Structure 1
Amino acid sequence: MGRRAFVTGALGVALAGCTGVPPDGQGSASPSARGAALLAVKIDNVGAARPQTGIEEADLVYAEQVEGGLSRLMAVFGSRLPDVVGPVRSARETDLQLLRAFDRPTLAYSGAQGKVQALIDAAPLRAVPDGSAAGAYFRSGTKPAPHNLYLRPGKLGRTTSGANAATAAGFRFAARTPPGGQPGTTRTVRFPSARFGFNWSAGKGRWQVSMDGRPALTAGGARLAAATVVVQYVTVEASRFHDKLGNTSPLSRTVGSGRAVLLRDGRAYDARWERASDEEGTQLTLDGRPLACAPGPVWVVFAKK
């Protein structure tokens, strides 16, 4: 399957730019997602960077391990854009493998280790680091540096085309709760020096996000939440690169296959993920059948298997 032929699903009417969900909940490839213009932004995720701005507007949020066992986010926007997003931080090798599933996305970031920057320059994407677009980046006085760099996406020109980024990444959607799974209202994913918690709110129909034991909030004080959470167990290994302090950068391998846990509608599904090549999206299955996400934002956490 080529980069323009993702395995995708029909989306709920709640998602911008998409039609309804078919009765069987599986759907077909969404034409609006093929070749969609998307914006990915690297987001700081240490305590001093929180609360973040704009990531509640993302269709898809990836959480990955970085140096020192800490975490960093990559928010991917397709159906809508915030006025401001951040704090923006540097890119990693893991991001490049993820982004190859999309069709020449725009990547906004604050820099990268020198050899990683060479890989970014050679990658099939539009790179817009800090300083490359007039008026796009600014420093806020509300947080200390380096946790205060923000992006105005509207200053980058046309970066999105209205398609849902999670669909372009290969995920299927259906309003109907899939059969199977187990009731479950809480899930914790631990990195060596970071922790993600997800708590189901039946009233809001969302998994509320916590980070390092504290509720994760938007800049406006609302709770960050996802309709679906995918805990994807991957190989996490030392990469060839390190940060300026000499710490080795972890590399999360997102091509291959393995175990996943999908959280939706207050239930947990022991699933399988598969991504056959860099250019393909990620498919989730349960007992060999496609497993659909709930309409709404998707968070994917890469846990070490």
Structure 2
Amino acid sequence: MRPGPPGTRPASPLFAALVVLALLALLGGCQDQGQGGGRTRPTEHARSPATGQFPFTGLSAKPAPVLAVKIDNASQARPQTGLGAADIVYVEQVEGGLSRMLAVFSSRLPAEVGPVRSARESDLDLLRQFGRPALAYSGVQSRLRSTVEAAPLYPLPPATAPRAYVRGTEHPAPHNLYVRPETALRLAPHASDASDIGFRFGAAPPGGEPKTRQSVRYPSAGFTFTWSAADKRWLVAMDGSPARTTDGGRLGAATVVVQHTTVRPSRFHDVLGSVTPFTETVGSGKAVVLRDGKAYETRWSRPGAGGGTTFTTTDGDRMTFAPGPVWVVFTAR
């Protein structure tokens, strides 16, 4: 301790102890005020300070704004960047039987995410369950632009948020556009925090069929999920090759949902004339939930676009997911 001014008496041991305790309490209060006054974003692959079960993963994290990013999944776009930090990854069929992903970030923010590609009409219905999230995408068809801009979300294409995007050198254009989530979310200051979208996490329900491998095929794309007991997650392969990221290694998920739904033609098409599929995520149907090396036959239900999706077992019980990242793969029934 710094000495007192000349002529002062030394403090008693009891007084000194009381001063130390008061200072510790004051410092603790200042830290609490700092966290409440402005959310400190995690660094790449770091988790937020624990304040409860996060609704997207069941892990311990505090509420945070939602950023969805439309991810390119053409072979020229792989390996992707930042995808391993997503709380939820939705896989959808697009033109030509190919696939793209809509990755949802909230509890963790990587430094960059991409490659970023254009949004689809199906994304708008899917995103409504998140309140008013931010959406990073590279653009949309001209006839869809006004619909995206009127949707309850923060649209953040490069034209709106140029400083949030950067061109990479790993892949050829147009597969080289990346978004910086921190910067993008600054332009969506009132984006909705993560909230309940119907997922439930906890111990595995009774039953389930032992399973170590599940494949999903689109006309021109394929996904395989292989259970790894050592990693306690389902490892992802795309088109027969292990899926990796540039910044996080092998891709995997604690829970995988294969959701059977209606995939119908939309009123849009790409520049080559291929019709854009529309994936219906409102309604009900069958789904297979993969967790802990088992497959569970379930039913999914989402009565309206403004609400989340519930999953129930064949016994009518609420299906629980394994805590951790969730992948949802939509496939035609």
User: Equivalent residue of 1:100, what SS?
Assistant: helix
Q: 1:160 to 1:60 in 2, by over 3 A?
A: farther
Equivalent residue for 1:265?
292
Q: How much has 1:288 moved relative to structure 2?
A: 1.4
Equivalent residue for 2:93?
65
Q: 1:163 to 1:217 in 2, by over 3 A?
A: farther
List per-residue Cα deviations over 1:28-74 (Å, max 9, x = no partner). Answer: xx9x76xx620000000011000000011010000000000000000
Identity of aligned residues (%): 56
Q: 1:185 to 1:59 in 2, by over 3 A?
A: same
Equivalent residue for 1:235?
262
Q: Within 2, Cα distance between the matches of 1:164 and 1:131?
A: 25
Q: How much has 1:169 moved relative to structure 2?
A: 2.8
**Preserved contact between residue 133 and residue 191 of structure 2 (Cα < 8 Å):** no
* Aligned AA (2:94): V
Determine which of 141, 156, 179 is the counterpart of 1:128.
Answer: 156
Q: Are 1:143 and 2:144 an aligned pair?
A: no
Q: 1:263 to 1:160 in 2, by over 3 A?
A: farther
User: Equivalent residue of 2:68, what SS?
Assistant: strand
Q: How much has 1:115 moved relative to structure 2?
A: 1.6
Determine which of 280, 286, 291 is the counterpart of 2:307.
Answer: 280
* Aligned AA (1:279): G
**Preserved contact between residue 65 and residue 193 of structure 2 (Cα < 8 Å):** no
Equivalent residue for 2:224?
197
Q: How much has 1:132 moved relative to structure 2?
A: 1.3
Equivalent residue for 2:247?
220
User: Equivalent residue of 1:135, what SS?
Assistant: helix
User: Equivalent residue of 1:285, what SS?
Assistant: strand
When the two chains are superposed, the root-mean-square deviation of aligned CA atoms in Å is: 2.4
Alignment of 1:83-162 (within 5 A): 83-158=111-186
**Preserved contact between residue 230 and residue 301 of structure 1 (Cα < 8 Å):** yes
The gaps in structure 1 that reach 5 residues or longer are 1-13, 22-26
Q: Within 2, Cα distance between the matches of 1:206 and 1:58?
A: 15
* Aligned AA (1:56): G
Q: 1:62 to 1:164 in 2, by over 3 A?
A: farther
Which 4+ stretches in 1 moved above 2 angstroms?
14-21, 157-165
Q: Within 2, Cα distance between the matches of 1:64 and 1:279?
A: 20
* Aligned AA (2:145): Q
Q: How much has 1:18 moved relative to structure 2?
A: 4.8
Q: 1:85 to 1:221 in 2, by over 3 A?
A: closer
**Preserved contact between residue 134 and residue 191 of structure 2 (Cα < 8 Å):** no
Equivalent residue for 2:237?
210
1 or 2, which has the higher helix percentage? 2
* Aligned AA (2:300): W
Q: 1:221 to 1:54 in 2, by over 3 A?
A: closer
**Preserved contact between residue 189 and residue 303 of structure 1 (Cα < 8 Å):** yes
Equivalent residue for 1:5?
none
* Aligned AA (1:135): R
**Preserved contact between residue 40 and residue 76 of structure 1 (Cα < 8 Å):** yes
Equivalent residue for 1:41?
69
List per-residue Cα deviations over 1:106-160 (Å, max 9, x = no partner). Answer: 0000000112212101100000001211421111111100000001111124469
User: Equivalent residue of 1:142, what SS?
Assistant: coil
Q: Within 2, Cα distance between the matches of 1:19 and 1:126?
A: 26
Largest Rg, 1 or 2: 2
TM-score where L is the length of structure 1: 0.87
Number of residues of Structure 1 aligned to a counterpart in Structure 2: 281
The gaps in structure 2 that reach 5 residues or longer are 1-46
* Aligned AA (2:265): A
Q: How much has 1:208 moved relative to structure 2?
A: 0.1
**Preserved contact between residue 100 and residue 124 of structure 1 (Cα < 8 Å):** yes
Higher relative contact order (CA 8 A, sep 6+): 1
User: Equivalent residue of 1:117, what SS?
Assistant: helix
List per-residue Cα deviations over 1:252-280 (Å, max 9, x = no partner). Answer: 00000000000000000000000000001
Equivalent residue for 1:7?
none
TM-score where L is the length of structure 2: 0.80
Q: 1:163 to 1:138 in 2, by over 3 A?
A: same
**Preserved contact between residue 78 and residue 163 of structure 1 (Cα < 8 Å):** no
**Preserved contact between residue 78 and residue 161 of structure 1 (Cα < 8 Å):** no
